[in-house]
Structure 1
């Protein structure tokens, strides 16, 4: 048996989460060949800990256990301790999170898994306290018990047998596919999913689920309900969607001062958030608000989207254009609860207490802190508007800002004109924002992840189509950044992560699918054929690396990548959309542009393979259900033969809710198509452009819906009216 490594190797890693543990007395190893080889050579179990930098309970377990010398001694002597950033290795997280949910009925982070040297799980959980409490074993006792059992021949045989059984269960859950159905799900699947969403709606507080908490945003369900309303005109679907949009925007989930969304709220009423801000939430939620704006015309929804974009550009954007991953929930605060001065809010650690990291410290306020920034009348008005009280709704008498009093009531109560109330509140928000900028900031995880950047690029592209074409600039800079740093144009392969000039990891299906969707959406917003070409390049790799023709599915990991104990698929939507669903929907769209590729056939086979799952639980498979409905119905296609999009056309398209539509710009004349075909690497004009040139020297639109096409139109309103009535 070899001796333990003898040192912690995380100091060589770029992940902020891994580096947070580089000074632990635990001899943490990254997941790599050396660590796995050590486990096999020493014949000891692997203790795998998976988390991420903004994870609150990851910090707690680190402070309680991983800083403890006694715990470290056992981990170092009896195990190979491996630490994984789930944002860098979503494949490992997917596999071992699945077994945690299968065994315990729950999951989350930190994820704690004990593995055989071959990587097969035999014990799993999430957070473990240092001493036993509330039915959970103490972490140190658990380590000793597992070590003793491993050294017992009889107990070890039982553990290895369990590991084999669990690995078989993982194969059944993640890797295997059922026999394909004869048909893909029909258009009714959207209505079935919407009915399930309506049944689970919280009509009192908005959102979904009626338990006491926590309450998570579900942008996919909002999209589903808005599309159902658009198709059927059912008011209940619109009511639930707008109730949810309003509740999230008015509550503590939304940062009322600086814009942007926190991860979730700990309560049913959206009052107190878990304060980390994730790039993916701030990518997906603006799209829901933009859709709500198009459907209802309510300007407040456009404002929420615009403020979120501003937050991302200000706080989550690399100087060269890529988007960072997260802001931590914690920042420096004060020990002294009684010090409610503006200085203590700013984190001055002179007199009054020693600065330490506290959850939410950057975002919460007391009435005294507001009065330190505003005059008495405006402070009172602001506190009434946002529910800031002496007692508070959070820890130590602080308040998370929630909109608690409508402007109309404030105008009546203070005998002020409504417009004046709005102006004073706006000025107060600006003043408090500037004061808050002086506080110690939450740490930022500056990983640039290909897939998450794709989600954000797509969101900015939608913002450019609906609000302001200038928003495309942020998307284009981010796409350029990812292409420069993470895309190998010679090998046609994508890497997962960039940080401080360090590139790491093969791209997963979510990286290719989300980034390709972002590039394609940016093409739709700008008409730049180079973005379309990149989307096609990524889609071709999806076919080459992730498509399994025998199984009829797209796997999450590339065929040429590391082989884990099982090869996972990602069918269900969670905090991010299903990568399988996004990829399938994308392939349906891109099938219009490359008739020599098998994009449409792959999408059809995926939908047949998983048809029973989609039909049986469409709400768990929203992205796949949306792709199935588009495939069955035949989505809206708009071909715009224009050299430059007319301003009035942009205004019409911005105001129309066209969910899932393909908006394809091409040159006005066929004479200019050859250059575009060279960029795309195509020998023939794609079907969506063939024979669809501009007429009589005017911008021309061709509209197709449900497999039927209109004659060429020079009035885009008429074309859209035809398509929506067809």
Structure 2
């Protein structure tokens, strides 16, 4: 057989990111046994390049270096070049990104790492230009220097590699030898995190940090929302509203087509990096749902609705699953050049040409700051800067006429934009990211009262379950990708003809279980609850280490890397450990014979010192600690379905630890459910809670204290108010006149 490193093997892969590099002269390898064995056999270092399909600087480095014959010759001769899609292999990315952050104090993509044949890192960085410039070393120079060091200073290189491996192992894998805290963090850690969020808040421009780039940080927003609900402290709500308003008004949001970009490059949220990620368009709207419930502001509901419409239109598989990303760049059909943001930006002349009506064009440009000077390379990323009331005064038109014209203009511009070259779409379906989006759809259905969102979430849940869940082995795979008939010839594919790859990680199980539980709450279909319980049981079997008292990110039966990482911090997505802990607490009430609460409590106990030392970096774990101490607000409904009136009434109030637990109205019906769940006895959340008087009946409980059964939702809410320590609704909020909405 031909030595695998003598050719570029990425054409055999289904990851769109890897396939983008299949024509490079670099003999790229995927991360697999053949490539790793080749490095050992050749006794040369590995050059590891990690990125993702929507990454702008990944494209730049590919064009400058990886398409270059001189670079390719150096790489192919002296290294085994391996390309990794970070979205498929977050475990590999986590390890080497942590090394980069430890060594350089920063990270990002593309991630460039040089490893020994055993996978131990000895040099790391991010983007490198081909030739040295502006203080950055050149990629060619680095390759030559490292090849020489490997030949001439091998012992020093290997010593450094071992030191760095020990450091990353200590950071990602190790747990305290003894748990100094005798118990998990108290709910006070929630206020500690919220206070830290206040200190880091940008009170002038919204969000967090005193400069750019600006990231959305939805986990911090959930901390603020829950802390406000617990304490009634107005500053928490003010910062939450300031952040939501800034993100919705600025360039982070796509005002023409809906949905959120990845982040903004500046402090005032004007210019985004234009890629759109599924996880952002799941997690940011969840924060807006919290803001909507706390304030009742319809502008937040509009953002949620428009974002879900975008996801349904542009990121949804025909059969229900959600795709991963939209690229930042579009290809110019005349030049073949890829231009960042070209699909999204406008000039005044372009707006006028589409709208034709001069007044409507002027209104749109004034509303969204479309100017001749531009804010991005001579064009404009729309930012909502002028309120409707101000426009009404300036144009001497009624406010409702302004809004009608603006909505008509937006629709026409969206239609015109569809004729532009579209950004590429990464059509991977990732289990974990789908779980995030499914949970948001389910919550939106409950809060906004729109059944179509529940249908959207259930469609994706069934898609993922059908393609990525192995019922017999109780195992979840991470990624599904459609494969054409031509590409499927001679290769193993799933039952739907698609390519399934990578064992699921903790985030896949935890995020998807949260989504499945949400679908049960929104629809009352016990099958979704059964799936959530199956996922939770596999978390216990594959990711829980009772001796170390922690949940690891990779399955015990999975591939062995230089370290077995944990994911405790919130990053682009919420902490897998934090979500798993909170999800296990929620599911514990449905499976009294399981150890779910014990696992969650022990994980929080194990990491208590770390959480308390830096609460804001562990926002999801703080939310789990709060839920553990406060207990869930269990809303058991004995009925064939959740009455719309009850759903709508509960939706009007913010209950972050609410758990809707529909059960059949009769004992006979409940026994059918128990058989589906494999339970011999009814869990406490359902036991003895039949419908009374032949009518739908409510039972509301918190921390093993329950209301009397009632047919009146107002009685139930009154009990919640008396027993749930509600916030003081008289606290002040932001002055609406300050908002560009």
Please indicate, yes or no, whether the TM-score normalized by the shorter chain is above 0.5: yes
Aligned to 2:478: 496
- 2:639 aligns with 642
Corresponding residue of 2:582: 585
Give the 4+ runs in structure 1 shifted more than 3 A.
none
Q: Is the 8 A contact 2:638 2:691 kept in 1?
A: yes
Counterparts in 2 of 1:249-268, with a 5 A limit?
249-268=248-267
Would you say 1:96 and 2:93 are equivalent positions?
no
Q: Does 1:172 align with 2:209?
A: no
Counterpart CA distance in 1 for 2:593 and 2:3 is 56
* Deviation readout 1:620-660 (Å, 9 max, x if unpaired): 00100000011012221111111122221121022121112
Give the alignment partner of residue 481 of structure 1, picking from 463, 466, 469.
463
User: In the aligned structure 2, how far is the partner of 1:44 from the partner of 1:277?
Assistant: 38
Residue 159 in structure 1 maps to residue 141 in structure 2 = no
8 Å CA contact 1:4, 1:80 repeated in 2: no
2:683 paired residue number: 686
CA contact (8 A) 1:114 1:123 kept: yes
Q: Tell me if the contact between 2:4 and 2:34 (Cα under 8 Å) persists in the aligned partners.
A: no
Q: Once the 2 structures are TM-superposed, how far is the Cα of residue 201 of structure 1 from its aligned partner?
A: 0.5
In structure 1, how many angstroms separate the alpha carbons of the residues matched to 2:722 and 2:242?
Answer: 28
Residue number in structure 1 paired with 2:293: 294
Runs of 5+ unmatched residues, structure 1:
334-346
- Give the drift of 1:597: 1.1
Shift of 1:133: 2.3
User: What SS is found at the alignment partner of 1:372?
Assistant: helix
In the aligned structure 1, how far is the partner of 2:3 from the partner of 2:404? 69
- Counterpart-to-counterpart distance in 2, 1:355 and 1:38: 36
Tell me, in whole angstroms, the C-alpha distance in 1 between the residues paired with 2:302 and 2:677. Answer: 37
Give TM-score scaled by structure 2 length: 0.94
Which of these residues, 438, 450, 454, is aligned with residue 457 of structure 1?
438
* Counterpart Cα distance in 1 of 2:393 and 2:707: 54
How far 1:356 sits from its partner (Å)?
2.1
CA distance in 1, matches of 2:443, 2:644: 17
Alignment of 1:569-584 (within 5 A): 569-584=566-581
Counterpart in the other structure of 1:141? 141
Cα separation, 2, equivalents of 1:714 and 1:415: 52
CA distance in 1, matches of 2:696, 2:601: 34
Mean Cα deviation higher: 596-605 or 641-650: 641-650
The counterpart of 1:402, out of the listed 383, 398, 404, is 383
Q: Does 1:665 align with 2:662?
A: yes
The alpha-carbon deviation at position 706 of structure 1 amounts to 3.9
| Structure 1 partner of 2:325 | 326
- Which residue pairs with 1:199 in the alignment? 199
1:602-613 mapped onto 2 (5 Å cutoff):
602-613=599-610
Question: 1:336 aligns to what?
Answer: none
| CA apart distance, 1:705 | 2.1
Aligned residue in 1 for 2:504: 507
Q: CA deviation at 1:672?
A: 0.8
Asked whether the 8 Å contact 2:428–2:480 carries over to 1, the reply is yes
Distance (whole Å) between structure 1 residues aligned to residue 718 and residue 126 of structure 2: 53
Q: Distance in 2 between matches of 1:707 and 1:610?
A: 26
Counterpart-to-counterpart distance in 2, 1:717 and 1:490: 45
Q: Give 1:470 shift.
A: 2.1
Note the C-alpha offset of 1:290: 1.3
Cα shift readout 1:203-225 (whole Å, capped 9, x = no counterpart): 000001112x0000011111111
Contact 1:35 1:82 in 2 (8 A): yes
Matched residue pairs, number? 703
Partner of 2:21: 21
Shift of residue 355, structure 1, vs aligned partner: 4.7
TM-score for the superposition, normalised by structure 1: 0.96
Give me the whole-angstrom Cα distance separating, in 2, the residues matched to 1:204 and 1:496: 41
Alignment partner of 1:536: what SS? helix
**1:75-474 matched pairs, under 5 angstroms:** 75-152=75-152, 155-178=153-176, 179-180=178-179, 181-211=181-211, 213-333=212-332, 349=334, 354-374=335-355, 375-395=357-377, 397-467=378-448, 468-474=450-456
Contact residue 322 and residue 482 of structure 1 kept, 8 A? yes
- Mapped to 2, the partners of 1:645 and 1:16 lie a distance apart of 42
Distance 2:4 2:227 in 1: 58
1:278-318 deviation line (CA, Å, top 9, x unaligned): 00000001111111111111101000000000000000000
Once the two structures are superposed, residues 176-235 of structure 1 have per-residue CA deviations (whole angstroms, 9 ceiling, x without a partner) of 001222011112111111100001100000001112x00000111111111111111111
Taking the aligned partners of 1:619 and 1:26, their CA distance within structure 2 comes to 42
CA distance in 2, matches of 1:305, 1:448: 22
On the 8 A contact 2:641/2:662 being kept in 1, the answer is: no
Contact 1:3 1:42 in 2 (8 A): no
SS at match of 1:523: helix
| Stretch moving more, 716-725 or 318-327 | 716-725
- Whether the 8 Å contact between 1:215 and 1:268 is mirrored in structure 2 is yes
Q: Deviation at 1:724?
A: 2.8
Asked whether the equivalents of residues 289 and 301 of structure 2 are also in contact (C-alpha less than 8 Å), the reply is yes
- Matched residue SS, 1:505: strand
* Structure 2: gaps of 5 or more residues: 483-497, 724-741
